[in-house]
Structure 1
Amino acid sequence: MTPPPARPATGRWIEDWDPEDEDFWQRSGRRTARRNLALSVLAEHIGFSVWSMWSVLVLFMSPEIGFAFTPSEKFLLVVVPTLVGAALRLPYSYAVTRFGGRNWTVFASAVLLVPALAAFWFIRQPGTDLWVFLLIGALCGLGGGNFASSMTNITALFPQRLQGWALGINAGGGNLGVAAVQLIGLLVLATAGSAHPSYVIAAYLPLIVVSSVLAAWKMDNFAAVRGAPGAQREAARNPHTWIISLLYVGTFGSFIGYGFAFGLVLQSQFGATPFEAAQYTFLGPLLGSFFRPVGGLLSDRFGGARVTLATFCAMAAGTGLLLMASAQSSYALFLGGFTLLFVLTGIGNGSTYKLIPAVFARQAQDAVTSGRDAEQAFARARRLSGAVVGIAGAVGGLGGVGVNLVFRSAYSGPVKSGEPAFTAFLAFYAVCILTTWAVYLRRRPAAPAGDGRDAAAAAAGSARTEASRV
């Protein structure tokens, strides 16, 4: 058999891609996959920054620079991009299977110039109506869709045993975009003051161009990423798709919802100034992003379900700290509790996404045990995993919308406190704990003694090993 080329032509469609073949992986596959991963992380990182930009810009918007928006209107400005970004994740996940990883990354990166340039112009026009910023915020939601297309692409590029690591690096690098734009906001506040929000946006205009050019120059399209017709419909009929999506609401929904709202919560709960809020808002998303690969690595070793269960238990405890801090009006304890929650959401994001390939690999293993062809069974598992990445990403993003709406309701009410919101989050984490245990950790019935696998199953050996670590 003629081996695949050691270095495929960049930008061309790569038809032969089998990361489970160890010889191919060591000879050329690993290098190609890692190059595409690095550029995918860059594009997704900038997409996240544009998506979450309004969590920073609202801290600048005050009557002193011509924007007399209420706290409720500011919460609305962070809800809109969250909603649009979540809604776009499903079509973005499909688009990468239709147009290819390189082609779609180039488009998804370049199109971010539209909302960035619009925001740069109108944020310098005092008295601009709220609806204009809501429209620009909706366009910034395009950056949120990048996550789903990037993750769908990366899922097919790495062998099963490395998917927890690869997905964690990809998602963690993207999540860092939330912390990065908030850190830039802090630097602008510290050096230029609160009258220049356009400086935050200006920092990203050249980065968007660089990301688009690098993707066009160095990335590849992979035939393995192409989705078979009806893959998303088939995935939608599988109950595990919606169970994992529910858990991802608890992890990623919390991460992105807290990341967008943290600065406004500090202003509303403790009357923090823009500079005081910006001093801390970047820290939580930064730690959460760094710990996402840790969640993937822990799941590679101990199983995604165990790590996810432990994470939700700890998140419930962290939410209890926030309730205590709110009751005592303790700024330090409040910051500590929120920082802990960000770290835990990062770990949970990695472990929950690790469940996707592991659960479908286990279903493939069960199919082989029942006499199905191993190669077809594991090919189906990989195809469904890519589809579920998009669905779970979209539903999880909607969780961020819910978090911000709950905060908006809590701080717009007569009490103007976050305690009702934290109580609601605590109840939801309890649901996630019970769901994880009941579906993925209760003892399964013993498998039949004869497994009935044929020789073709040998090529999927590593996938079967990982399937046991759900």
Structure 2
Amino acid sequence: MTATDSNKHQNSSFLPRWEPNDPAFWEQEGKSRAWKTLWVTTFGLTLAFAVWFMVSAIVVRLNDIGFNLTKDQLFWLTAMPGLAAGLTRLRHMFLVPTYGSRLTLTISSLGLLIPAVGWGLAVQNPQTPYWVLLSLAFLAGMGGGNFSSFMPSTSLFFPKKMQGTALGIQAGIGNFGVSLVQFLTPWVVGVNLFWFLGSKSENWVFAGKTQQIWLQNASWVYIPWLIAAAVMAWFLVRSVPIKANMKEQLAIFGDKHTWIMTSIYMMTFGAFSGLAAAFPLLIKTLYGGFENAPLPLKFAFLGPLIGSTVRVLFGLIADRTGGAILTTISAIGMAVFSVLVTLYVTPTGLNQFPMFVACMLGIFFFSGVGNASTFRQMPVIFNPPQSAGVIGWTAAIAAFGPFIVSMLISFTLTAAGNVKPFFYGLAVFCIFNLLLNWWFYNRPGAEKPS
């Protein structure tokens, strides 16, 4: 290779060499670049999650500012981002091996400007057609799709022994985007942040009181940060020189462990993301009819906050204990709290609300444990680049969580008059995955101890 060719290759999007499992390479060059890339992509992923879940924070106020949507229509709006996230993640899992991290992460961040701008315009007019709201809700789900390119990209930058830690940090902090949007929304909508754009206020009627809010801020607040994330991805991120053709990537579907881990991750992240999206509306539906009813977003952000924090912490723990034992604990805990919460979903008074929230937070806690442990298991069960493909695939299917959970809750409310059947079903699903994990990964003599 000539000097010119060498310089051209060095300046391209792809790194000329990447061997993180080589201790000498890791210390001399790999470590600094890997951690820099992790922090840049984690920033972008946090914003992506915020855009994905901003709809769940917006819908609880639509009818209070003049929209006239039914309960089913509201649950459909919370469900659509999950449908989009699952579908776009199926595409994202192939992007990094094909186009590299730099281009994929930059374009993915810029694409989220569409729903961020669109929702801000739509909420200012109560006559906005429902199909437009559904379309914008679907587009917001692209933020969830980004996970299946951001996470596999990170798995390529770190040595196998550190992937539990790296993926736990990125996914856990990224998941904070869910809590961020539900915590931040009540604050930002109370201030005219975008007066220079002629931003109009809306009259918000709650508990018989009327006040001015700017609901468009709930989406517009992310616009400058999304632009910053795209710029950082383009200038600070490079691509790992690992290419995989379509045939190699599709080979993961012939491995039974791909499907087992898909089911297990649906239990953990599927439940986490689904309940995070539905939690605000669930609070309003179950407890909103009482006098002095609780503000949904005042409590709903606690679920994803706890689940995200736990995911970061247990990513570190999983590198030391292994993932399988923590997944076992996760499944047991989720099953127990899924049963306990049924005692508080047909309330007769607000005195039951604290226990309802506590049981829901129990589900979020143990789902966070499982979200960390499964991402430790997959790089152990599969070899690269297959592990990156499996991470992308399982994440894609689990991203349907908000769609599936919101639809099941809506269906059980209509069919049974309450949500007890949903939570009983969740408990059964957790027990099923507990048995899968124990048999294949956790028992003495397991086929793939992880």
TM-score (norm 2): 0.89
Structure 1 letter corresponding to 2:375: Y
Q: Do the aligned partners of residues 287 and 10 (structure 1) sit closer, same or farther apart at CA in structure 2, a change above 3 Å counting? A: farther
TM-score (norm 1): 0.85
Q: What's the counterpart of residue 44 of structure 2?
A: 43
Quick one: distance in 2 between partners of 1:430 and 1:414? 23
Alignment of 1:262-281 (within 5 A): 262-271=279-288, 276-281=295-300
Assess if the C-alpha contact under 8 Å between 1:86 and 1:397 holds in 2: yes
The Cα shift of 1:149 comes to: 0.1
1:306 to 325, 339, 346: 325
The Cα shift of 1:191 comes to: 6.1
2:409 to 403, 407, 410: 407
The Cα shift of 1:274 comes to: 8.9
Q: What's the counterpart of residue 220 of structure 1?
A: 238
The reply on whether 1:95 has 2:95 as its aligned counterpart is: yes
- CA RMSD between the two structures: 2.1
Q: Secondary structure at the match of 1:220?
A: coil
Q: What's the counterpart of residue 271 of structure 2?
A: 254
Structure 1 letter corresponding to 2:419: G
Structure 1 letter corresponding to 2:252: A
Q: Secondary structure at the match of 2:94?
A: helix
Quick one: distance in 1 between partners of 2:251 and 2:283? 43
The reply on whether 1:347 has 2:369 as its aligned counterpart is: yes
The reply on whether 1:196 has 2:214 as its aligned counterpart is: yes
Q: Do the aligned partners of residues 27 and 413 (structure 1) sit closer, same or farther apart at CA in structure 2, a change above 3 Å counting? A: same
The Cα shift of 1:123 comes to: 1.2
Q: What's the counterpart of residue 395 of structure 2?
A: 393
Q: Secondary structure at the match of 1:411?
A: helix
What whole-Å deviation, never above 9, does each CA across 1:262-307 have from its counterpart, x for those lacking one?
A: 0010011111689711101111111111111223222211111111
The Cα shift of 1:229 comes to: 3.8
The reply on whether 1:316 has 2:335 as its aligned counterpart is: yes
Q: Do the aligned partners of residues 38 and 198 (structure 1) sit closer, same or farther apart at CA in structure 2, a change above 3 Å counting? A: same
Q: Secondary structure at the match of 1:197?
A: coil
Q: Share of identical aligned residues, percent?
A: 29
Q: Do the aligned partners of residues 241 and 254 (structure 1) sit closer, same or farther apart at CA in structure 2, a change above 3 Å counting? A: same
With 148-157 and 296-305 compared, the bigger mean Cα shift is at 296-305
Assess if the C-alpha contact under 8 Å between 2:328 and 2:437 holds in 1: yes
Quick one: distance in 1 between partners of 2:374 and 2:364? 15
The Cα shift of 1:85 comes to: 0.5
Quick one: distance in 1 between partners of 2:181 and 2:446? 49
Quick one: distance in 2 between partners of 1:256 and 1:15? 37
Alignment of 1:110-125 (within 5 A): 110-125=110-125
Assess if the C-alpha contact under 8 Å between 2:189 and 2:218 holds in 1: no
Q: Do the aligned partners of residues 348 and 10 (structure 1) sit closer, same or farther apart at CA in structure 2, a change above 3 Å counting? A: farther
Assess if the C-alpha contact under 8 Å between 2:52 and 2:144 holds in 1: yes
1:286 to 305, 309, 314: 305
What whole-Å deviation, never above 9, does each CA across 1:308-365 have from its counterpart, x for those lacking one?
A: 01111011111122012235651010000111211211111111121111112xxxxx
Q: What's the counterpart of residue 423 of structure 1?
A: 424
Q: Secondary structure at the match of 1:269?
A: helix
With 182-191 and 311-320 compared, the bigger mean Cα shift is at 182-191
The Cα shift of 1:9 comes to: 5.9
Q: Do the aligned partners of residues 186 and 308 (structure 1) sit closer, same or farther apart at CA in structure 2, a change above 3 Å counting? A: same
Quick one: distance in 1 between partners of 2:433 and 2:189? 39
Alignment of 1:46-57 (within 5 A): 46-57=47-58
Quick one: distance in 2 between partners of 1:24 and 1:396? 35
Quick one: distance in 2 between partners of 1:274 and 1:171? 33
Unaligned runs of 5+ in 2: 1-5, 193-202, 205-212
Assess if the C-alpha contact under 8 Å between 1:190 and 1:275 holds in 2: no
Q: Do the aligned partners of residues 286 and 210 (structure 1) sit closer, same or farther apart at CA in structure 2, a change above 3 Å counting? A: same
Structure 2 letter corresponding to 1:18: E
Q: Secondary structure at the match of 1:221?
A: coil
Quick one: distance in 1 between partners of 2:293 and 2:123? 16
The reply on whether 1:295 has 2:297 as its aligned counterpart is: no
Q: What's the counterpart of residue 174 of structure 1?
A: 174
What whole-Å deviation, never above 9, does each CA across 1:364-422 have from its counterpart, x for those lacking one?
A: xxxxxxxxxxxxxxxxx11110110111011111233221111111223352x221211
Q: What's the counterpart of residue 183 of structure 1?
A: 183
Unaligned runs of 5+ in 1: 361-380, 447-467
Quick one: distance in 2 between partners of 1:445 and 1:34? 34
1:209 to 227, 234, 255: 227
Q: What's the counterpart of residue 24 of structure 1?
A: 25
